[in-house]
Amino acid sequence: MPKTVSSCIIGLGRYAPERRVDNSEIEARLGVEAGWIERRTGIRSRRYAAADEALTDIAFHAADAALAASCLTRSDVGLTLLATSTPDHLLPPSAPLLAHRLGLVRSGAVDIAGACAGFLYALTLADGFVRSQGRPALVVAANVLSRRINPNDRSSAILFADAAGAVVLAPSDDPTIGMLGVELFSDGSHYDLIGIPTGGSCKPYSPFLPATDVFMEIRDGQAVFALAVEMMTQSSLRVLDMAGLSVADVTRWAPHQANARIFEAVRRNLGLPEDCVISTIAEFGNSSAATIPFSLASSAETAPFKPGERVLLTAVGAGMTGGTVVYGF
């Protein structure tokens, strides 16, 4: 058998819940003028899960689509990684249930809690599994962030959304495709800029705590903006250099869809042309780790990835944690 030297993406899938929430609904609740949200974020609408939709429900749709596109026999899949900040339960992890529902009878399964960068961490780990074991892997990123939003908090209520994206990786003997460069990074000195105060060992759930303590907080939006732009810019340059590539070699760029102003600043810093940017934020908002695979699947629906393409992926989120990957098709 050919030696596995890389992983290749052979299936992509995405899913957004049916309920569309336009800016006008949120702007009316917050008491701000029409257009206020779009000017600050680039978002016009987002999707919220239905009351009876759990995290594994939306993850299932994206994963099922990616598996169908891959044409694999489901017993071939050896690993399922689910990047999420909103699992069905705190325990057990959601990935085993997802794998079971998908019919992945010979797959290991575990959750990855990497916030907005979770997909890139999961993708990197899955690539290592595929290359070392010679078996396909499924990577899913999904979030139901609408249930972690304080509806009266301007910083979070305007941004976050629900969605899922998925990719299937298969073994390849072609060293010119797959993960051509990768960097995973973190800066824990900014650990508390974004978070959910209650639910961990530091501050367990209690009936005496205010309800808002279970909602997401962005404590300093300006600091998050500046750090995200700097980290995503510098990491992208390092990874391209690592891969022996230049900015001119990038055919598509799929940044984490945190805020359109953030990735526009990064684009200008890198000197990337506007037409290489994959953007889904206007209609689907910020679904954290799900935004990159969701955007990849969306882009492929319009123009399938061609051999020789070099796609740049980068994200920064809570922690602060981040990553950059340059992927060859």
Encoding tokens for residue 274? Answer: 């506007």
For residues 235 and 228, what is the distance between their CA atoms, to the nearest angstrom? Answer: 10
For residues 76 and 211, what is the distance between their CA atoms, to the nearest angstrom? Answer: 44
Q: Widest CA span of the chain, in angstroms?
A: 64
* Sign of the CA dihedral running 106, 98, 303, 255: negative
Residue 157: how many other CB atoms lie within 10 Å = 18
Q: End-to-end distance of the chain based on CA atoms, in angstroms?
A: 22
C-alpha separations of 249 from 14, 26, 215, 311, 312 in Å: 26, 40, 41, 9, 10
Residue 143: how many other CB atoms lie within 10 Å = 30
Q: Are 41 and 159 in contact (CB under 8 A)?
A: yes
- Catalogue the active-site residues: 116, 256, 286
For residues 298 and 235, what is the distance between their CA atoms, to the nearest angstrom? Answer: 25
Q: Are 309 and 328 in contact (CB under 8 A)?
A: yes
Strand 79-83 versus strand 108-112 pairing type? parallel
In the block, residue with structure tokens 């319009």: 302
